[in-house]
Structure 1
Amino acid sequence: MTPTAPDRHTVSARISPRGGLDILSRDEVIRLRDASSGGLHELLRRCALAVLTSGSQSDDPRAAQERYPDFDIQVLQQDRGIKLELKNAPAVAFVDGEIIHGVAEQLFSVVRDIVYTAIEVKRGDRFDLGTSEGLTSAVFEILRNAHALRTNVEPSLVVCWGGHSISRNEYEYTKHVGYEMGLRDLDICTGCGPGAMKGPMKGATIAHAKQRRVGGRYIGITEPGIIAAESPNPIVNELVIMPDIEKRLEAFVRLGHGIVIFPGGVGTAEEILYLLGILLHPANEGLKYPLVLTGPAGSKEYFEQIDAFLRLSLGDEVAQHYRIIVEDPAEVARTMARGMRHVRQRRLEQKDAFFFNWSLHIDHPFQQPFAPTHANMAGLDLHREQPMHTLAADLRRAFSGIVAGNVKEEGMREVEAHGPYEISGDPAIMQALDKLLESFVAQRRMKISGEYKPCYRVVTG
């Protein structure tokens, strides 16, 4: 690596591959370098800048772009492989002129996934993205290309969902839960950002070290619209960038063996509804999928609000699919450990793989990307006169649109240009939704910093 420092805030350097990526074709390099080639260069630049600014306290995806307007990244093809050329990169990613190893690994993960998605998934003819089977195959191949699928490994991967904007007490609780799970030889997969996505990993690293467990997995799964607002935390040692939020969610539920949900905001509510919509489908009856909602004593009211909203919207039977545990990290970990044994037995009976949950049925509507336009948000069918798993799918899309309006560039531009999204439906559901969202705002769960201006309007009358 040959670094130069134009000023104390930035560094320019050339770095060699870390994390297994060392060969790209000339065509792949050209596409990554050419800003007119489907926008790949700009996508690469935005995702790379997110990795280089890990630890940022802003969740506005435009903040890093404004702070480092001269940053650029180029992929260089050389006889012995490739190198990344960084120009005016954030100095925080370097120590004495040398890039931090974990940052370098994540950078090459960005290149790997952007190339694979652009060449093999979106532009190739390998996958029929118009079918459920084709979409699941695409998710599988992206994960396999990222070496996230491992054979001959017992079920042990716990997916942890929760907010990026949580209180200090809630964050410390997520660390304690991660610690208890790590003591029981469980690995962690999160959305890879700050808050509830970082805490469980941090706790598990200490527990794995105490147990002298080598090779602990701290998997972070993100997507281009999220990564700039939720930069990967430095503990992530396996970063995977899925093409969109729907494939990201499917990757979580097919890769993981159980899910723990911590307090969060609309993004967490979206994830809860996505999973419950799947579990409520008749085709998944009898499926073993341990699901725990947990937080410290101060978060009890939060979970009561979530539970009430779910029961009102989807019926009391929805509660059979999850367990709420308050202020008991050890019991959360024990529940997950027991759940892993049940998952193992079920997979053996179904002759299903441990590393990818093929038998899980996911309806095509859950897999289709949702564009958060005003027309699409207004057109959501949020009424009870339909199967509960179908209602859950549209409720998930409502929360997805609010996430876009809060932290994704395209959603923020849409709201700035046309005003807040309007959401309407069954009056009782709308009143419950409005109350839940108001509680998120009051508890400052919508944004990390600054005053929150709602990007939505719930029509309750």
Structure 2
Amino acid sequence: MEYPVLDTQISPEGRLDVLLKAEVNKLLDTSHGGLYTIFRHCTLAVLNSGNALDDGKELLARYPSFSISIIHRERGIKLDIKNAPASAFVDGVMIKGIQEHVFAVLRDIIFLNSEIEGNAQFDITTSQGITDAVFHILRNANQLHPLVNPNLVVCWGGHAISGNEYDYTKHVGYQLGLRGLNICTGCGPGAMKGPMKGATIGHAKQRIANGRYLGVTEPGIIAAEAPNAIVNELVILPDIEKRLEAFVRLGHAIVIFPGGAGTTEEILYILGILLHPDNVDTPFPLIFTGPASAAGYFKLIDQFIGATLGAQAQNRYQIIIDNPVLVAQQVLAGIGEVRAYRKATSDAYYFNWALKIPNEFQHPFIPNHLNMRQLQLHKNQDTHLLAANLRRAFSGIVAGNVKEAGIRAIEEFGHFELTGDSDLMESIDALLTSFVQQQRMKLPGKLYVPCYRIIK
């Protein structure tokens, strides 16, 4: 099947107008270790925004002749784009929001390579060095707003949700928007788009003209979760761990909607951090919510958390079913506690410096077959460390489902294997089986085939 394509040249508007020749050369370097491949992949994903495709490998196969190059002139730059998805254009002109996202890709890829990677200022073998790197990436993207009261709500949830669940996310977003709260998500479709869409209406009714709809992503996942049309601010972090840290450093509350393995990874990440002894007294509103039809889903999630991480973890969140107004009210009240705590401890409103994030949650996990099989999935360890290892297991499953490298690894070497304590394995198996039965791990247009095998 052929997919319609168009060519164009675009210029930045007030952002990243000029580049060093050395930066251009790196971006166009197609050799091993060059930046061109990652630049091309991320740009193609942005241009494919709005299309129902959840497979990085297939996206590249659909547009094999897509190319992007930089026209470097002393008075500025242009991007020369050939064979781009036609859906990114209206009457032959690239959609404004998509054009902004393309230059956000360029900005972040350049900054990561020139200012973060190999910079002695950032020792990314240490927790503080990683946090400093995340801070500088967000600051370069103009996402740190020091003169604003806490108001950013992170919304997590699946991209493959039902229509009923999607409508519910819009209702919650609407109630949050009415209360002047901004939205940050993983920037994709489903539960990442719905809250933003609802908030736009709430903001419009309150005559809020500068609402933030922030999308936070990373190169490995952007093809599966391309920025939706409502995202007006986009940031690309170098890996999933730094992406997750950006969420919790920026956000003042988290609302979690139904999802699959990726949402479970996010739940385990935030719970593992909140279970660390240094964070016991740190307020961080965390609400699980969905329509009445999702009550069974959250019952299973709650049971899984109780069976693996225990009652202490269950005490760190609320479950609110079918009540968007109450969700927004509880979020607003919780953010009030966050503001009071930050003020009392002299912590910044715009970046949560005080939150302790252990290195186990920061060091990039490479989801290959050996690393997946060697995960420490047993209860003979601190609870927050168990959460870190469970998070890695679900991260690997996400990689095997939708990331290009993970898909190719499964095709070449077969299923990932997970092994550990029998009761933990049974809990993981039961949860993943329920996701498949509820079609929460479906891929658009495909029959879901698990990329993992549970070894009990």
Using the size of structure 2 for normalisation, the TM-score is 0.98
Which of 39, 43, 50 is 2:38 aligned to? 43
Deviations 1:257-276 (A, max 9, x none): 00000000000000000000
Q: What is the correspondence of 1:284-295 to structure 2 with a 5 Å cutoff?
A: 284-295=279-290
Q: Residue 453 of structure 2 corresponds to which residue in structure 1?
A: 457
> Of 10, 22, 29, which aligns to 2:24?
29
Correspondence 1:17 to 2:6: no
217, 238, 254: which one aligns with 1:222: 217
Secondary structure, counterpart of 1:76 in structure 2 = strand
Matched, 1:67 2:48: no
Share of identical aligned residues, percent? 58
CA distance in 1, matches of 2:420, 2:3: 54
Is 1:91 paired with 2:83?
A: no
Contact 2:57 2:403 in 1 (8 A): no
Answer with 423-432 or 189-198: which moved more.
Answer: 423-432
Residue 440 of structure 1, CA deviation: 0.5
Alignment of 1:109-148 (within 5 A): 109-148=104-143
Q: Separation in 2 of the partners of 1:163 and 1:286? A: 30
**Residues 351-406 of structure 1, C-alpha deviation per residue, up to 9 Å, x if partnerless?**
00000000000001110000111111111111111110010000000000000000
Offset, 1:62: 2.0
Q: Secondary structure at the match of 2:429?
A: helix
- After superposing the two structures, state which structure 1 stretch, 293-302 or 35-44, moved more: 35-44
Structure 1 residues 14-23 or 319-328, which shifts more?
14-23
SS at 1:457 equivalent? strand
For 2:32 and 2:112, the matched residues in 1 are separated by: 14
Superposition pairs for residues 6-405 of structure 1, below 5 Å?
A: 9-18=4-13, 20-36=15-31, 38-405=33-400
Please give the alpha-carbon distance, in whole angstroms, between the structure 2 residues aligned to 1:123 and 1:148. 23
Q: Aligned partners of 2:399 and 2:325: how far apart in 1?
A: 35
Q: Distance in 2 between matches of 1:18 and 1:167?
A: 38
Local SS of the residue matching 2:289: strand
Residue 444 of structure 1 corresponds to 439
CA contact (8 A) 2:158 2:192 kept: yes
CA contact under 8 A between 1:44 and 1:114: conserved in structure 2? yes
Shift in Å, 1:233: 0.4
In structure 2, C-alpha distance between the alignment counterparts of 1:275 and 1:71, rounded to whole Å: 38
CA positional deviation for 1:77: 1.5
Rounded to whole Å, the distance in 1 between the matches of 2:215 and 2:24 is 25
Measure, in 1, the Cα distance between the counterparts of 2:213 and 2:75.
Answer: 30
Which letter maps to 2:406?
A: G
RMSD: 1.1
The separation in 1 between residues aligned to 2:426 and 2:215, in whole angstroms, is: 35
Q: Is the 8 Å Cα contact of residues 175 and 204 (structure 1) preserved in structure 2?
A: yes
Equivalenced residue count is 454
Contact 2:57 2:407 in 1 (8 A): no
Rounded to whole Å, the distance in 1 between the matches of 2:451 and 2:59 is: 22
- Would you say the 8 A contact 1:44–1:111 is kept in 2? yes
Flag the 1:280–1:19 CA change in 2: closer, same or farther, 3 A: farther
Distance 1:407 1:68 in 2: 17
Alpha carbons 1:164, 1:448 under 8 Å: kept? no
Question: Aligned partners of 1:30 and 1:12: how far apart in 2?
Answer: 22
For residues 447 and 45 of structure 1, what CA distance do their matches in structure 2 show? 27
TM (normalized to structure 1)?
0.97
2:387 counterpart letter in structure 1: A
Q: Distance in 2 between matches of 1:431 and 1:366?
A: 24
The Cα of 1:39 is off from its aligned counterpart by 3.1
Residues 64 and 19 of structure 1: is their aligned pair in 2 closer, same or farther, counting only changes over 3 Å?
farther
Q: Is the 8 A contact 1:31 1:37 kept in 2?
A: no
Q: What secondary structure is seen at the aligned counterpart in 2 of 1:224? A: coil
Identify the residue that residue 410 of structure 2 maps to in structure 1: 415
Give the Cα separation in 2 of the matches to 1:373 and 1:66.
23
- Give the distance between the partners of 1:342 and 1:247, measured in 2 at CA: 26
Moved more, 103-112 or 26-35: 26-35
The answer on whether the counterparts of 1:19 and 1:108 sit within 8 Å (CA) in structure 2 is no
Long gaps (5+) in structure 1: 1-6
Whole-Å Cα distance in 1 between the matches of residues 87 and 316 of structure 2?
43
Q: How far has the Cα of 1:37 moved from its partner?
A: 6.4
- The answer to which of 353-362 and 26-35 deviates more is 26-35
Q: Which moved more, 1:377-386 or 1:153-162?
A: 377-386
C-alpha deviation, 1:124, in angstroms:
2.4
Q: Is the 8 A contact 2:249 2:352 kept in 1?
A: yes
